[in-house]
């Protein structure tokens, strides 16, 4: 079953309702109940697509054979869904979240206070790695990072603090490129702008491109300049990583910190307060779902590049995030500061959204 939430829940609309201190977790019993996956993103996006693919296999492998539905909460870059799961959602195992990198990284990278603590979620597992690349359209006269150091390369972005903007600004700060983010597109219109020649480049994940524009990869419509990721994608192993260009250890540490949340892209997590038994059962269901031959076939049919991490592995990466020295975080924040570095989409293109 599928469901998309179109309105902010009443508790959020009126101001977040914090879970009372000392609240007792509810028992895990899903027989004849409904499990809701709260997706921190819109319908049709990458997080949503992965969630809708695995949902039937959660239903298959959870005890009690509950109905499983997907509810989309794209507000505030996905933070709305994370806040809802943390503060409002039931703690009886019937509510689970999935998110993009933004709400995981933003509490470290933004000065604004957040109404959730990433360290207090119970992590069930993750489905993919965020294999970001910066790539130019095939007709653009840029073929390498060296070329991108010698001329301005415009990059379609959704916002001044969006992932494409941050990736582009990190490349400028750490390896000397001249990427110029153009803010104000949506995820879909950013790719249209690239195809129409309004911008030169995109900084996005290969997973996204493979699911939304597979023909671009197949037909060589993009020239991939650099991997903004820990590891090079096997299909483009000859494309350099950003880390390969960086000699300064402080800059390397900052980029590795920025990339760490991408190692558990599309994570699944339970709200604070669930019982240890609930976490154990959910982790077992996740492990069984991702090992299910039918799930593997479905995700492959949908061109989803599944790279699984267990709940224990995700938990270890989150702990590593929180162990990052303050000076490393500060260097990262300075590198992605968009002040004076980002342009807005031209007014005559606003209608193209």
Q: Could you read off the pLDDT of 101-139 as tens digits, one per residue?
A: 889 999 999 876 679 999 999 999 999 998 999 999 999
* Helix ranges (DSSP H) in 78-237: 79-87, 102-109, 145-150, 163-175, 187-196, 206-212, 214-218
Q: Are residues 188 and 337 in the same domain?
A: yes
Q: Are residues 221 and 337 in the same domain?
A: yes
Number of domains forming the structure of the chain = 2
What's the domain range around 96? 10-15+24-129+264-322
Confidence at residue 162, expressed as pLDDT on a 0 to 100 scale: 86
Q: Which residues of the chain have pLDDT under 70?
A: 1-28, 112-113, 347-353
Tokens of 111: 């000065």
CATH for 92: 3.40.190.150
Confidence at residue 339, expressed as pLDDT on a 0 to 100 scale: 93
- Report if residue 164 sits inside a domain: yes
- Report if residue 74 sits inside a domain: yes
CATH for 223: 3.40.190.10
- Contact 172/166 with Cβ under 8 angstroms? no
- Report if residue 244 sits inside a domain: no
Helices (H) and strands (E) in the chain, counts: 14, 12
Residues whose CB is less than 8 angstroms from the CB of residue 289 and which lie 6 or more positions away in sequence, other chains included: 54, 57, 58, 60, 61, 295
Confidence at residue 37, expressed as pLDDT on a 0 to 100 scale: 97
Question: Which residue in this structure is represented by tokens 């031209």?
Answer: 346
Q: Are residues 29 and 125 in the same domain?
A: yes
- Report if residue 33 sits inside a domain: yes
Q: Are residues 347 and 218 in the same domain?
A: yes
Q: Are residues 183 and 295 in the same domain?
A: no
Q: Are residues 145 and 289 in the same domain?
A: no
Q: Are residues 222 and 305 in the same domain?
A: no
- Report if residue 79 sits inside a domain: yes
- Report if residue 246 sits inside a domain: no
- Report if residue 272 sits inside a domain: yes
Q: Are residues 42 and 115 in the same domain?
A: yes
Confidence at residue 20, expressed as pLDDT on a 0 to 100 scale: 39
- Contact 268/126 with Cβ under 8 angstroms? yes
């Amino acid at each position: 079953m599928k469901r998309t939430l179109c309105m902010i829940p009443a508790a959020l609309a009126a101001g977040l309702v914090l879970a009372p201190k000392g609240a007792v977790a509810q028992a895990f019993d899903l027989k004849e109940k409904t499990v809701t996956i709260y997706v921190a993103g819109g319908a049709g996006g990458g997080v949503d697509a992965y969630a809708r693919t695995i949902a039937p296999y959660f239903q298959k492998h959870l005890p009690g054979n509950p109905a499983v539905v997907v509810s989309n909460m794209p507000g505030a870059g996905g933070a709305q869904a994370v806040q809802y799961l943390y503060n409002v959602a039931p703690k009886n195992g019937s509510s689970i979240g999935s998110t993009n990198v933004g709400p995981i990284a933003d509490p470290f990278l933004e000065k604004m206070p957040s109404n959730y603590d990433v360290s207090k979620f119970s992590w069930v597992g993750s489905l993919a790695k965020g294999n970001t690349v910066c790539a130019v359209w095939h007709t653009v006269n840029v073929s390498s990072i060296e070329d991108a150091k010698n001329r301005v390369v415009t990059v379609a972005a959704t916002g001044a603090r969006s992932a494409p903007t941050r990736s582009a600004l990190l490349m400028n700060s750490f390896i000397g490129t001249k990427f110029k983010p153009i803010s104000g597109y949506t995820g879909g219109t950013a790719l249209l702008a690239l195809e129409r020649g309004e911008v030169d480049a995109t900084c996005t994940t290969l997973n996204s491109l493979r699911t939304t524009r597979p023909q671009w990869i197949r037909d060589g419509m993009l020239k991939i300049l650099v991997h903004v990721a820990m590891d090079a994608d096997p299909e483009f192993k000859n494309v350099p990583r950003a880390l390969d260009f960086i000699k300064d250890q402080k800059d390397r540490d900052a980029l590795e910190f920025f990339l760490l949340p991408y190692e558990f892209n599309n994570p699944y997590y339970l709200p604070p307060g669930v019982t240890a038994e609930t976490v154990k059962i959910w982790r077992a269901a996740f492990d069984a779902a991702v090992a299910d031959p039918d799930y593997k076939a479905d995700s492959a049919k949908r061109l989803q590049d599944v790279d699984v991490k267990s709940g224990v592995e995700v938990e270890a990466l989150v702990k590593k995030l929180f162990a990052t020295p303050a000076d490393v975080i500060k260097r990262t924040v300075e590198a992605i500061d968009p002040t004076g570095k980002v342009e807005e989409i031209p007014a005559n293109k606003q209608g193209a959204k």
